[in-house]
A and B are shown apart, each in its own frame.
Chain A
Amino acid sequence: MSAEAGRASAVAGPATARILVTDDQELNRDLLSRRLRADGHRVDVAEDGPRALAMLEGAPYDLVLLDVMMPGMDGYDVLARIKASEALRHLPVIVVSALDEAESVVRCLELGADDYLTKPFNALVLRARVGASLARKWLHDREQLYAKSLARELEIGREIQQGFLPPGCPSLPGWAIAARFEPARSVAGDFYDAYVLPGGHVALVVADVCDKGVGAALYMALFRSLLRALAGQAALQRRPDDALLAEVAANTNDYIATVHDRANMFATTFFAILDPADGRLHYVNAGHDPPFLVGSASGSGRGNVARRLGATGPALGLIAGSHYGVQVETIAPGEILLAYTDGVTDARAADGERFSEERVEDILADAWRTVVEGEDPAPGDRAGRVLERIAAAAAAYAGDGERFDDATMLAVARDPSKAPPPRTVK
């Protein structure tokens, strides 16, 4: 095929199509099908509406020529059924009517017909209208194909990204750890991690790679892998938690800022290591929204005033040579840590106002109090239930509005210390 011919067919589609001619008059069926076959099309005929619909269900057609006036099921009815069918609605229909049926033509166009032809047929007009309808159909089919392949690619991306998130959170006696991950699009720049390091301490990460979509998702995979690989290596070498965190943050930052300098990508990152034996939590906060640490009134003795785990250095990847401080907190019995990304606090109501840190803090404190002090049948799921409450409140707040940013939360809850249950003495 010459380049010229290739280009022409790319616009007009293949020259021949499969066409169904529906008419109760044998003369009309023969006339139309002969002309269409002469133009190289493959033509089938149906003598009434029910037969036409059955044939359309049974084979893939490119176009239907449909007579309006037929006994029994008329052309309007057939057309309405085609347009009501999920499988057939994009199939173009050219209605065929007598010259004096202007009203019926209008009605058919309103019902979704592509075009119309008047009897007696003019061969040139028939060819032109059939050609135009087929060209539109092919264009539509190509767009559908493209949209489908794009959706498939994104679905593959989404599945692969899931593999860069932990399959579940570690289960440790005396602790409940849970996470929620809600991408704004198929793939996200947010991520979290929760895993047990060599030596038994628990690594916890919540991060937000700048921007969103595919580019952010690629860097999410890189940031997550660097953090995990470097931390695992350092833990094997028995580096203490504070030294490990400072090194891993600095090395990850320098890698991104130098090797990928031109990409200008960065990630605000909260990275902590928990010693489950005593609740000590070392952390680096690289430019990330400060997590909350909240106690139940009975558990911590500090009421419900949240502590915030503020920034100890700039976002990872921003500028090479940055220094990252390490802070230490203790998650006391009955306390819960909540790390989150700004997709949670920035969820907008219809009036444009944001969900806000204040609302998250209030709901966190309230949900935690209810979970700790209420009847709690499944202590292991405490953290998950608190996250559900916050997510539900944020969703209710945003209403039907489109989610415009990835939203991720990670909660680490320490069981309240309980006095041994009083013995019932009879």
Chain B
Amino acid sequence: MELSVSQHGDVCVVGVRGSVDGSTAMQLQDTVAAQLTGSAARMVVDCAELEYTSSAGLRALLAGVKECRRQGGDLRLAAVSGGVRRVLDLSGFTGILRIYSDVDAAVSSYAS
């Protein structure tokens, strides 16, 4: 798993590449948490290059979205596809997370 962090206005975008599993999920959770200090808590997780996530990765996303919402913001997903989409649908995550087709759409969703 590789992570990248970039700022789009007041929205923070975390890109996840590769596979998230039990050994890497904590790094994802910590990275999301680290971006939250003092910001507007508006996050986008870019899943365009995310190939696989285990339930540990879903747990990291759950931790992230809860913390963002506690701080008055949100965590939204962009470009989710394939197996990851199927896992999110099945476990019910698509009911609690907002998902957009790409990063631009996810970032601009905060403007409206």
Task: Check if B91 sits within 8 Å of A268, measured CB to CB.
Answer: yes
Find chain A residues with CB under 8 A from B91 CB.
266, 268, 287, 314-315, 318
Smallest CB separation, B10 vs chain A (Å): 25
Interface size on A, residues (CB 8 A): 24
Most B C-beta atoms less than 10 A away, residue of A264, A311, A313, A318: A264
Is there contact, CB below 8 Å, between B90 and A210?
no
B66 & A314 in contact (Cβ 8 Å cutoff)? no
- Is the C-beta of B59 less than 8 angstroms from some C-beta in chain A? yes
A266-B62 CB under 8 A given contacts A311-B92, A314-B91: yes
Least Cβ–Cβ distance between A161 and chain B, in angstroms? 18
**Within 8 Å of chain B (Cβ to Cβ): is A261?**
yes
Shortest distance between the CB of A206 and any CB in chain B (Å):
14
Chain B residues with Cβ below 8 Å from A208 are 55
> Which residue of chain A has its CB nearest to the CB of B23?
A404
Per DSSP, chain B at the interface is: helix
Q: Are B59 and A318 in contact, with the CB atoms below 8 A?
A: no
Residues of B within 8 A of A289 (CB): 90
Residues of B within 8 A of A314 (CB): 91-93, 95-96
- Separation of A210 and B63 alpha carbons in the complex (Å): 12
**Bound CA span A315–B90, Å:** 9
Residues in A with CB closer than 8 Å to B66 are 261, 264
Tell whether, in the assembled complex, residue A210 and residue B55 are in contact, meaning their CB atoms are under 8 Å apart.
Answer: yes
CB distance from A136 to the nearest CB of B (A): 31
Q: Are A318 and B92 in contact (CB-based, < 8 A)?
A: yes
In the assembled complex, the CB of A378 is this many whole angstroms from the nearest CB of chain B, namely 36
| A210-B92 contact given A261-B66, A264-B66, A405-B54, CB 8 Å threshold | no
Which residue of chain A lies nearest to B21 when distances are taken between CB atoms in the complex? A404
B55-95 interface bits toward A, Cβ cutoff 8 Å, 1 = contact, 0 = none: 11011001100100000000000000000000000111101
Distance between Cα atoms of A313 and B91 in the complex (Å): 8
A11 to B34, CA, bound (A): 37
A266: B residues at CB distance < 8 A: 55, 58-59, 62, 91
Cα distance, A265 to B54, chains bound together (Å): 13
Q: Is B18 an interface residue (CB 8 A)?
A: no
CA of A266 to CA of B54, assembled, Å = 13
Give residues of chain A (375-426) contacting chain B, Cβ–Cβ below 8 Å: 404-405
Say yes or no for A133: interface residue by CB 8 A criterion: no
Task: Kindly state the separation between the CA atoms of A311 and B63 in the bound complex, as whole angstroms.
Answer: 23
Q: Which residues of A contact B (CB under 8 A)?
A: 208-213, 261, 264-266, 268, 286-289, 311, 313-315, 318-319, 322, 404-405
A selection of 22 A-B contacts at a CB cut-off of 8 Å is A210-B55, A210-B56, A211-B25, A211-B55, A211-B56, A264-B59, A266-B55, A266-B58, A266-B59, A266-B62, A266-B91, A268-B90, A268-B91, A287-B90, A287-B91, A287-B92, A311-B90, A314-B92, A318-B91, A318-B93, A318-B96, A404-B21
- Seen from chain B, the residues whose Cβ lies within 8 Å of a Cβ on chain A are 21-22, 25, 54-56, 58-59, 62-63, 66, 90-93, 95-96
